[in-house]
């Protein structure tokens, strides 16, 4: 590659890494004069890479949004950081198909030595995070919701409930939350008149409207999502008193599992469960003394678990 072409690509890399650079600064970094910098900018524009030049004492050059994506140029450290982010995203269940496609593209363009090093990292790296396999929502729905929330624009959703029924809702979004492999959006639902949480993978369409709104200062999307997950309508409503301080219980029991309330008798754990045998195992695993308030059948499940453990110990 000729030196002018090399310097022109170096200029592109500098503009990608900085919001804007002055002509004199660019010239010094590239080892050329300012007139040559202007010529490089014009040549990049001819190639479809939108470089904007602002004249004057405080003018300079910057990349502007265009119809074509400029060739992405990454240093070795930057490429490694991108690969690590994609590997972590794959583990979390973030856009699995898109993640694999992006990893494949980056692998193809890495220099041979760096490609081998990154490949070794991918083969040997492991996570303490449990692998997630969950439905991935359409990227367009996520991006549309994010833009609407940022701009405080009401949206109309087509939503499928967990029972399969389809509804149309107007939502004043408060935030997007990624939790346990799934995307959620929370906000004021005009159909119910309440703050609600919706799984984004169950949204079939999002149409931004013109109505605007304000997000309440006390809004906490993460807390709202985790609290709503603890109220999922499973078969049994469970209430148990944990005989430990609230802070200790909160360290072991996340808000998405149960609500915890301090009472004179201890910490009231309130949640829902589909399987009472599973709930009995969870309570036993906590290692806290507890008193079951409801349902009565949970006491039978706990006794059954205790008997099973006793028999296994005797064997």
- pLDDT tens profile 96-151: 667 777 787 787 777 788 888 888 888 888 777 666 665 666 678 888 999 999 99
Complete DSSP assignment for the chain: --HHHHHHHHHHHHHHHSS-B-HHHHHHHHTS-HHHHHHHHHHHHHTT--EEEE-STT-EEEE---SSPPPP---HHHHHHHHHHHHHHHHHTSSHHHHHHHHHHHHHHS-HHHHHHHHHHHHH---SSPP---PPPPHHHHHHHHHHHHHTEEEEEEEE-TTS-EEEEEEEEEEEEEETTEEEEEEEETTTTEEEEEEGGGEEEEEEEEEE----TT--HHHHHHHHHTT---SEEEEEEE-S-HHHHHHHS-TTT-EEEEETTEEEEEEEES-HHHHHHHHHHHT--EEEEE-HHHHHHHHHHHHHHHHHHH-
Q: Calculate the average pLDDT of the chain.
A: 84
- pLDDT tens profile 21-58: 888 889 899 989 988 998 998 888 888 888 888 876 66
Tell me which of 100 and 219 has the higher pLDDT. 219
Q: How far is CA 148 from the centre of its chain?
A: 17
79 class by beta-carbon count within 10 Å (0-12 exposed, 13-18 middle, 19+ buried): buried
Q: What is the pLDDT of residue 129?
A: 65
User: What pLDDT band is residue 70 in, cutting at 50, 70 and 90?
Assistant: low
Q: Which of 42-56, 62-76, 179-193 comes out lowest in average pLDDT?
A: 62-76
Q: What is the pLDDT of residue 311?
A: 78
Q: What is the pLDDT of residue 255?
A: 81
227 pLDDT above the threshold of 60? yes
pTM here is 0.55
Domains, the chain, ranges and CATH? 4-63 (1.10.10.10), 76-124 (no CATH), 140-231 (2.30.30.100), 236-312 (3.30.70)
1 pLDDT above the threshold of 50? no
Which segment, 17-31, 62-76, 294-308, is predicted with the most confidence on average? 294-308
Share above pLDDT 70 across residues of the chain, in percent, rounded to a whole number: 87
- Can you name the residues that pair with 260 across neighbouring β-strands? 269
């Amino acid at each position: 590659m000729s030196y002018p072409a090399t310097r022109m690509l170096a200029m592109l890399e500098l503009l990608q890494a900085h919001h804007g650079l002055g002509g004199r600064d660019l010239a010094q970094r590239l080892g050329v004069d300012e007139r040559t910098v202007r010529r490089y900018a014009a040549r990049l524009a001819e190639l479809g890479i939108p470089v904007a030049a602002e004249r004057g004492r405080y003018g300079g050059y910057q990349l502007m949004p265009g119809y074509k994506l400029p060739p992405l140029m990454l240093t070795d450290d930057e490429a490694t950081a991108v690969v690590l982010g994609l590997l972590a995203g794959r583990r979390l269940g973030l856009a699995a198909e898109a993640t694999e496609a992006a990893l494949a593209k980056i692998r193809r363009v890495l220099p041979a030595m760096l490609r081998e090093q990154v490949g070794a990292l991918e083969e040997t790296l492991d996570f303490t995070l449990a692998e997630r396999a969950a439905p991935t929502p359409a990227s367009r729905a996520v991006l549309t919701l994010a833009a609407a929330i940022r701009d405080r624009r009401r949206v109309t959703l087509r939503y499928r409930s967990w029972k399969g029924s389809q509804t149309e809702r107007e939502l004043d979004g408060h935030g997007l939350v990624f939790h346990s492999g799934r995307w959620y959006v929370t906000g004021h639902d005009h159909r119910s008149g309440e703050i609600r949480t919706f799984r984004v993978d169950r949204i079939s369409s999002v149409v931004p409207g013109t109505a605007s709104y304000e997000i309440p200062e006390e809004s906490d999307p993460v807390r709202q999502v985790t609290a709503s997950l603890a109220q999922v309508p499973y078969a049994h409503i469970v209430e148990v008193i944990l005989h430990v301080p609230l802070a200790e219980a909160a360290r072991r029991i996340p808000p998405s599992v149960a609500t915890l309330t301090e009472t004179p008798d201890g910490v009231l754990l309130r949640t829902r469960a589909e399987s009472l045998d599973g709930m009995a195992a969870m309570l036993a695993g906590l290692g806290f003394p507890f008193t079951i308030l409801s349902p009565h059948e949970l006491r039978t499940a706990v006794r059954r678990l205790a008997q099973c453990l006793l028999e296994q110990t005797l064997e």
